[in-house]
Structure 1
Amino acid sequence: MEEKLKQLLTDKPAVEDKDISTLFKIFQIEPSTSQRSICLQLESAKDVKGTVQLICSNATGDHFFVDLLIAQFSNRNNSEFVSFVSKTANKPSMRAVCQRISSIMEKCRKDEDRKLESRVVLLVSLIASCSSLRISNDESRQWVSFLANKTNTDDVSLKIALATILASPNLMLDQVSFRDEKIGKSLSSFFSYLHSLIQKPEYAPLSNVMILIYVHLVTDNAEDLSILLSNILGHKVPKTLSKQPFVKELYIANAINQQDVAQKAANINITKRLNATMSGYLPVHCICAMLHWRSFSKYSTSINEWVKTQMLECHTPIHPIVPHLLENFASSCIPSETYPHFNQSIDEQFFQEIFSGEIFDDSRLVIRILSLAFLIAFTFKLDSSSNKEGGTIKTPKAYSQSLWKSIPIRYLLIVADMRHSDFQHIRLMLQRYLVLSLPHLLPEQIHFDSFKGQTTHIFTRGKRNVVPVSEFGCALEDATNGHGFFKLSKLTDLLLNLTIQSQMPHFENILQAMTVSLDEERWPRALVEKLVLLWERFDSVLPRRLHEDTIRLWLKSSQASQIPNLDDRDNDFIISHTPLILFRADSRVFKSPPHLKCFCRLLSFYLAASRDANYLKLTRAIAYNTKSEMAEKEELLRSFIGTQRLAVVQVFIELCDGNPKDIPNLEEIQQILCSQIHQFFIADTHLPKLVHFNMYPLRLIPVIVKKVPSTHVLINSINELLTGGNLERRIFTIVLMTELLENYKIPPAFAALTLISDLLDTLISNIINEEFIILMLNITNSLARLIMLSPFHAEHFLATIYRTRKLALNRLALYTSYTKARISPEQKLIEMIDKVLEKLPKLPE
């Protein structure tokens, strides 16, 4: 019989109808040979049509039929059988396969063969992926009903059945134009059955899958849904979401709701060692979407522990979903009118532990950068929230000033920038929120230079050249007590040659040294400058702590203007009272050039912090103010910032005044202060005019004009300064214009002299009074200089001086006594003019 079977199957290119009848008889006599025979026929790839007839006949067992088709459809790319039945021309063969599957489904239901039933579910998932599959309405209802079996309790089989329903729109009629009621009832009942199962802990894997499916359906994420279904079914599933509106609607309504998703998603396992090399849809994607919907806060489900744990499991390179997770979580922690409920934020103790210990510990670098990203996003959203302005909605508590003080913000930003490939995704979020809320903390090139040439993988274990903190502290104490500076100078030189990682442990000692070294007469200038270099290095790591601690030490000094309860004031107090409170620091700071440089950096830092804090308040005001009110507030804020800068510049100009004999470093101090004034003038183009409209001592005009290059802009504002009847301002303007022309011999400067000439002509042509005499007393020397500087106006100014002398002589007759006349302003003016005329050329005849 074996020989007869082999002859029928191999000797002919096609199996004829009479041969098929013979094969049926052989299979009935020996059923065991049917499996070998059909496998042999499939391997030979001859007469697939006849093989289909044999497979679909009752001569083959149900288990064999199902297993055989699973094997063929699982390897569909290399299967002649699948290729044959999938062709449109071979519809009868596909119909025969479908009819045999339908009959097996009926037997499974009657016999309750769970093993065979699970295999049929898998087969249906495979065959349903064929685009050529066309089944009748009755078969569609039967197959969907079979997949939606409410007696099935196998976790894997249920996931396959669910995935098959979602991945196979061709199992049902067009869902867009027609919805079959029977199929709808079957699916609704099945989804409700799944909903009841996932309440049990043993169905946690099924629950996780259903949560992910729910998220994809709600967000219309067809791409990730097809990937998820492909992973479940073991073969590629195309994007079919748009063809399944009926199934989507029934699933969302019956399988799982948002409250279930929120409660169960909080228990989803985190992704271990999450990084950018991981692809596909991860649990963090699901949590991120649900945070965006505010599902957890809506149903009072705690999610902060999950977020904390996932943050701790993040590694480099940072996964691109992590910034979205942190931002969505930060948003969900802030209530609003639309969303009054909010998630509990991460407790402050967690962040205090994260930022405690060694600053340059590379093992904590990732979690610290992620923590900073969350903190800056949460704080900005809280500070800019309209609810904070006395609203009725309860708001979460802000993180303390002590926590912010401990965060090495600039260092973390610098590392994120230097290791761009590791932190490229989180870096963008950090920069965005820092620009919005704390731009004064963004690192500049000078801060990057502190790490130039050093490895970004911080803190390498092993031997390092270090200066012991205790030894440096003892040397500082000896120097403070007058026991010499040799040891401290030597240790400072060693410390300057080390990396910033080795310098940071000396933070407190350097701050203390910056205070005791104010006694400049006793401390060597070279040593103080080295201490300043170390102080500036720390600005690249802990800017806020550095500036706050330094200004507190200087404000507590015995030579400072005492501030009540300074220790009880937080950083907000300093910011809100900047700049005036900073000028109450130790007066010796303003007489020591190295310390004055540090003070200028402190002042710039706090002015920027004050500006940023006020802009945040303005952002919060947008929610409850009209456009015209906002425009008014913006104008007021600009005026306030301008007033702050004006006050600073005026104080700086006052500090430029003094006697070089009393202040040996006056020239250097003036240069430092004028450099700062120059920066202020560049930042605010209206400021130079305001400063000079308010005026300052005439003796300081040469200093300001020579050392502040941006004062040349005042040449175009001479007309505004001259207008009005203010005598002091006219004197100030003419003296100022003389200095400007001395330094900037440009056409607009010479044109401005015409205005001065016209003014003097107007005044001298009217009644001459004491005010005119005082004016000429103060500007005669300036006019003499203008004669030498401007040949275009020399003759006119010389004539003005001669006319003034004659008028002064005439006014001497008004005095009742010779004694009064000799001490009169007119006599002083005549004597001054005579001295000036000796040095000037004669007026031509």
Structure 2
Amino acid sequence: MALNLGKLSPLFCSLQDGTFWDTINNFDDDELKVFLPFLISSCFHNDASGDVFPELLARLCQFPEGNRILTLIRQNRTEFEEKFQTSHEGGFNIPFCKVDDITKLAMVIRFFNESSKDEFPAGFISDDEVPDAAMLLSLGYINYPHLLPFGKITLKSLSFPNGPQLLITMLMNSVELLNPVLNILMGLQVSEESSIGRQKGVLLTQLFELCPRIHLSILRDMASSKRDCLLAVRLAAQFLDDEAILNFILPLTWNKSTQLVQTLSKASSRSTLTILHDRLYKMASRIVEKNDKQPYLTLLQSLMTIQNNCSLKPSPEQLNILCSLICRVNVEDDAYLEFALASLLAILSLTSFPQNQLPVNRMDEMIVAFLKHLAIEITKEHRESLRITVIYVGVCLSGLRTDFLKTFLLNIFKTKITIPPRQVQLLRTTFFSSCLSECELATRCATLPVSVNLNSEFSGRSPIHSVHDLLCSGTFARFNVDLGPWLENQIMASSVPVHNVLSEVVERFAAESARAGRSGLRKKFIDDLFEGDILSETVLTARVVTLLYLLSYRSQMDQLAIGAVDNFFRDIYSSIPIRFLLSIVECRGTNYSSCRTSIMRLATDIFPYMLPTIDSVKIARAPGGGMSFPFTTDEYFGMLKRNEIGRILKVLDASLLSDLVKQLPFIVELFRKSLDKDVLLPNVDSVITLWSRLENVVPRMFWVSCLQNKEMSLADIYEYPTLLFRCDRRILSSPKHFSCFIRMLTFFSAASKNLLMRSVHTANCSLNEVERQERDVLSIAVDHTRGSLLIQLLIEVSDPKRMQDEQTPSALKRRRLVRKIACEYIHQLFIMDKNIMKLVLFQTFPLHMVPYLVEDVPSMFVARDFLQEMLSLPDIKRRIFGISLMIHVSKKYRITATCASTDLILDVLHTLLRFCEASINVKLFLKIVPTLAEINSVFPQLSSDVTHLLMRVYSLAANRMALNPLVVECQSQEKQLMALIKNSLADQVNVAPAV
């Protein structure tokens, strides 16, 4: 007779948790009957030590089996064991039903005894005798545990048909053996199709029915085993309730790499998978019929994971149930609705009606109704997460981004799902016709919430990904949707490290806004962003990203030939700290790695004169501390009028850099005040240091504050940098102040050249090839002309005669230092463009400045390349200049190349002396004789040629004197020339030549 294990389960569990003796009266006799061996043994042993359970023992003895059990317990154990060890009679071959109880007990023990060699027929215990044998086995283990090892009992119980019932009865009377027996069963590696495997399944089924609390722990262990995972699924489908089976199945089927999924995917496991499938769909059917508002997300996840990972196609009826479960419109849970939308995308058979056709069946109608429901739900404020997901799906479908949809589904289902391109097109049509149109999609996307603290460490989907995709597809521009307000909020909500998608969105939006003729970001937003503390870390990231926008916008405007400076941000570029922000990007490369390349590339193209310097990077890396200004600007100007410069500088040196930027006009006035003669040199040095610090942070803002002449605008200086020489003349005579002037001049010269080249490039877009080449030539000529003019002005500044300096040692020293600074800048211009040097040399400059420039401009050595061309000109002034320049170059660089150039000069002079008019030669040699005389000391090997040349010139002058007796000798050029030659030859005789 089979046991009703479900009825016996409460009693067994009470024995496990120790509450049986307190609740024994709650159980009837039918329940206690199976546990008689344990109960009577407990009462008997306790009775031997005292009257503990007399009433219980009296109750148990009323059972027919009670006296038998009591008799077996009371027998002499020693005699029974001796008889068991020494008995070899053939009585064990007598049928089990025809022997007495003692013999039956011995037969059962001998059968399960580990050392027994007796072989019993498979059916020596008939079905009717199983309860009796089970009672004896339980009693034998309680009284003779050393003769019945539980491991051997477990294994032998699996070898014959009635074994599981015997073992179950024994376990009910020996509850402590439950876990050891389960461990043996879990470690038993046998095939499920074998006889032992089938018995194992029967035994586990009975154990689960008897003790429900072991379900989940045992099933999880079985599910991880290749041999037992299918059995675990069947047991779970049979014994677990709805919630428990979902919690059990979902983690095991969520990933294709789990043992259960790999086993269920095989054809041999189809029957087990069908059992599980039917169980889940029955649950879904009940939910659909009740129209339950609960999400039951776990159920849908389980169905979808089995659908995706186990490749079991649902029947049409099941597919209808699944569609009804997915498309419930009475569920308020965002997570469920998002998963339901992903499920519609993943199950191809749900959305397969032809393109541009109405739904053809009930499932299609449910899908359309569900999509319309989503369109309504995402308009509600509390549906933020759902709105982001729906719009992201719409964006993927809008651009037919199959790869993005696969990634989206992979993140949802944790498994790769393939969607054919045709299916994506069908999904796109369904979505746009039933949920959102493309215009609505773009409009909703522009109102999405921003991602707070968005940075490169942010993982997963966010609204910015949807915005990026729609920007790439041109949807915002096509439907004229303004993305500016959303991007402004996202820029302010971003943090470092800057997200790479944010950088791409900013660049694309800037290009799109420029093409549409809009500003994109509002000018007021940019003005407010850059207002306030220049060092504020709070808005630093937003400022850097906005700088990227402005640079991208400017670049696109130039490419479209709209103009070198756009109308929307014309004034902003001169009011933002571009160099400081570029320095921040440079020294904090990790934080701005995603946008650093674009920012530096665009800045190099548009504002090369704003690129970071070594000092600006140092300031950006460590801006330093300080205190806030204790005085107002008016108070500072008052102190300046009282000539309290020392006090002012002491405060300014200890002030914050951001406060110094706010006082730019005052610092400019302080710079002008430092030009006065009564200002002490230490104070002048402090002012120059302060000036240099600010020009490395905000150079353009700083120098715009220096414009005194209101008639001269910043645009004028960009076009003609030489207008800067209209400054206070004292600056051109003070070496320390002149170094600041040169840096300003360098900045605006580079800016002027850049603007010229960019304007030419912009204009060339609409010209043909010939016109483009002519325009390029003209632009280069204009650039060279500006450069030569700048150098000529610097030469004038270096000339003490031109500057009308006092002939005092201090004045001459100051001019010498100014000339050295100017020559350093001239040298930089020459090495950047050799043609500027050529133009300056052909323009010439005062002869008395030639030695100074040759000495202080190292690149003047290259002038020898233009010597022959200068000497071939008919202009005697340029010939004189070229000879003088080459002689001084040769004096500085006494090498073979300059010697050859000097020899060329002598050959040319011989030729001129032979073929040119005598009057021209007299004028020429009158200027160059002193210079020619110096050749003897520089290159002694040429002294004979020089002497011969001078003698020819002397003869020429003497002959002209003889032919023209009317000339007054003292005023004659010929007489002066003869005197110069005599003096030069005399010096050559008296001074020993250098070897």
Cα distance between partner residues in 2 of 1:355 and 1:769: 73
Q: TM-score, normalised by structure 2?
A: 0.71
Contact conserved, 1:73 with 1:82, CA < 8 A, in 2?
no
Contact conserved, 1:265 with 1:287, CA < 8 A, in 2?
yes
Deviations 1:316-359 (A, max 9, x none): 33333322222122122112xxxxx4665222222222222222
Q: What's the offset of the Cα at 1:447?
A: 2.5
Contact conserved, 2:320 with 2:363, CA < 8 A, in 1?
no
Q: What's the offset of the Cα at 1:313?
A: 1.4
- Residue 257 to residue 492, structure 1, CA distance change in 2 (3 Å): same
Residue matched to 2:483: 303
Deviations 1:170-229 (A, max 9, x none): x689x9x99999899955872564145413424654332121123334556667645644
Residue matched to 2:729: 587
Cα distance between partner residues in 2 of 1:770 and 1:727: 11
Q: 5 Å matches for 1:4-153?
A: 11=168, 42=219, 45=222, 64=241, 68-69=245-246, 71-76=248-253, 84-99=263-278, 112=291, 115=294, 120-130=299-309, 132-135=310-313, 138=316, 142=320, 145-146=323-324, 149=327
Cα distance between partner residues in 2 of 1:396 and 1:677: 34
Residue matched to 2:530: 355
Return the match for 2:552 from 377, 394, 397: 377
Contact conserved, 1:649 with 1:691, CA < 8 A, in 2?
yes
- Residue 56 to residue 622, structure 1, CA distance change in 2 (3 Å): farther
2:857 corresponds to 1:680? no
2:654 corresponds to 1:492? no
Q: What's the offset of the Cα at 1:752?
A: 0.9
Residue matched to 2:781: 639
Cα distance between partner residues in 2 of 1:803 and 1:74: 111
Question: What is the letter of the counterpart of residue 642 of structure 2?
Answer: D
Q: What's the offset of the Cα at 1:158?
A: 3.5
2:601 corresponds to 1:601? no
Deviations 1:655-690 (A, max 9, x none): 222345355432222212211111111111112121
2:337 corresponds to 1:161? no
Return the match for 1:435 from 604, 624, 633: 604
Question: What is the letter of the counterpart of residue 240 of structure 1?
Answer: T
Contact conserved, 2:577 with 2:697, CA < 8 A, in 1?
yes
Q: TM-score, normalised by structure 1?
A: 0.82
- Residue 106 to residue 666, structure 1, CA distance change in 2 (3 Å): closer
Deviations 1:607-640 (A, max 9, x none): 1111222233234335433455444433332222
- Residue 321 to residue 831, structure 1, CA distance change in 2 (3 Å): same
Return the match for 1:614 from 746, 751, 756: 756
Runs of 5+ consecutive residues of structure 2 not aligned to the other structure: 10-163, 169-180, 186-191
Q: What's the offset of the Cα at 1:70?
A: 5.4
Cα distance between partner residues in 2 of 1:135 and 1:783: 106
Q: 5 Å matches for 1:816-835?
A: 816-817=965-966, 820-835=968-983
- Residue 432 to residue 195, structure 1, CA distance change in 2 (3 Å): farther
Q: What's the offset of the Cα at 1:774?
A: 0.6
Question: What is the letter of the counterpart of residue 615 of structure 1?
Answer: M
Residue matched to 1:368: 543
Residue matched to 1:313: 493
Residue matched to 1:838: 986
Q: What's the offset of the Cα at 1:727?
A: 1.3
Q: What's the offset of the Cα at 1:380?
A: 2.9
Q: What's the offset of the Cα at 1:129?
A: 2.7
Tell me whether 380-389 or 275-284 shows the greater mean CA deviation.
380-389
- Residue 189 to residue 778, structure 1, CA distance change in 2 (3 Å): farther
Contact conserved, 2:409 with 2:417, CA < 8 A, in 1?
no
Query: Per the alignment, in what secondary structure is the counterpart of residue 624 of structure 1?
Result: coil
Residue matched to 2:367: 190
Residue matched to 1:559: none
Residue matched to 2:943: 794
Return the match for 2:568 from 398, 404, 424: 398
Contact conserved, 2:253 with 2:261, CA < 8 A, in 1?
yes
Contact conserved, 2:446 with 2:483, CA < 8 A, in 1?
yes
Contact conserved, 2:6 with 2:210, CA < 8 A, in 1?
no
Cα distance between partner residues in 1 of 2:573 and 2:389: 40
Query: Per the alignment, in what secondary structure is the counterpart of residue 420 of structure 1?
Result: coil
Q: What's the offset of the Cα at 1:52?
A: 5.7
Residue matched to 1:546: 702
- Residue 242 to residue 311, structure 1, CA distance change in 2 (3 Å): same
Question: What is the letter of the counterpart of residue 649 of structure 2?
Answer: T
- Residue 136 to residue 409, structure 1, CA distance change in 2 (3 Å): closer
Q: What's the offset of the Cα at 1:33?
A: 9.6
Question: What is the letter of the counterpart of residue 575 of structure 1?
Answer: Y
Question: What is the letter of the counterpart of residue 739 of structure 2?
Answer: K
Q: What's the offset of the Cα at 1:503?
A: 4.6
Question: What is the letter of the counterpart of residue 531 of structure 1?
Answer: V
Query: Per the alignment, in what secondary structure is the counterpart of residue 784 of structure 2?
Result: helix
- Residue 88 to residue 634, structure 1, CA distance change in 2 (3 Å): farther
Q: What's the offset of the Cα at 1:145?
A: 4.2
- Residue 765 to residue 428, structure 1, CA distance change in 2 (3 Å): closer
Q: CA RMSD for the aligned pairs? A: 4.2
Deviations 1:67-94 (A, max 9, x none): 6245313344899866653433212222
Residue matched to 1:483: none
Query: Per the alignment, in what secondary structure is the counterpart of residue 728 of structure 1?
Result: helix
Q: What's the offset of the Cα at 1:149?
A: 3.6
Residue matched to 1:268: 448
Question: What is the letter of the counterpart of residue 610 of structure 2?
Answer: L
Return the match for 1:532 from 688, 691, 706: 688
2:365 corresponds to 1:208? no
Deviations 1:415-442 (A, max 9, x none): 3333333333333332222112111111
Return the match for 2:587 from 414, 418, 428: 418
2:613 corresponds to 1:444? yes
Runs of 5+ consecutive residues of structure 1 not aligned to the other structure: 336-340, 390-394, 480-486, 557-564
Residue matched to 1:334: 514
Residue matched to 1:722: 871
User: How many residues get paired?
Assistant: 788
2:977 corresponds to 1:815? no
Cα distance between partner residues in 2 of 1:835 and 1:188: 117
Cα distance between partner residues in 1 of 2:947 and 2:749: 48
Tell me whether 274-283 or 92-101 shows the greater mean CA deviation.
92-101
Cα distance between partner residues in 2 of 1:140 and 1:250: 26
Q: 5 Å matches for 1:659-670?
A: 659=801, 661=806, 664=812, 665-670=814-819
Question: What is the letter of the counterpart of residue 346 of structure 1?
Answer: L
Query: Per the alignment, in what secondary structure is the counterpart of residue 509 of structure 2?
Result: helix
Question: What is the letter of the counterpart of residue 423 of structure 1?
Answer: Y
Return the match for 1:199 from 376, 386, 397: 376
- Residue 680 to residue 754, structure 1, CA distance change in 2 (3 Å): same
Return the match for 2:889 from 740, 747, 758: 740
- Residue 167 to residue 343, structure 1, CA distance change in 2 (3 Å): farther
Query: Per the alignment, in what secondary structure is the counterpart of residue 530 of structure 1?
Result: helix
Q: What's the offset of the Cα at 1:653?
A: 1.6
Q: What's the offset of the Cα at 1:790?
A: 1.5
- Residue 789 to residue 205, structure 1, CA distance change in 2 (3 Å): closer
Contact conserved, 2:355 with 2:426, CA < 8 A, in 1?
no
Structure label with greater radius of gyration: 2
- Residue 497 to residue 270, structure 1, CA distance change in 2 (3 Å): closer
Contact conserved, 1:467 with 1:494, CA < 8 A, in 2?
no
Tell me whether 681-690 or 46-55 shows the greater mean CA deviation.
46-55
Cα distance between partner residues in 2 of 1:38 and 1:669: 95
Query: Per the alignment, in what secondary structure is the counterpart of residue 590 of structure 2?
Result: helix
Cα distance between partner residues in 1 of 2:500 and 2:365: 37
Higher relative contact order (CA 8 A, sep 6+): 1
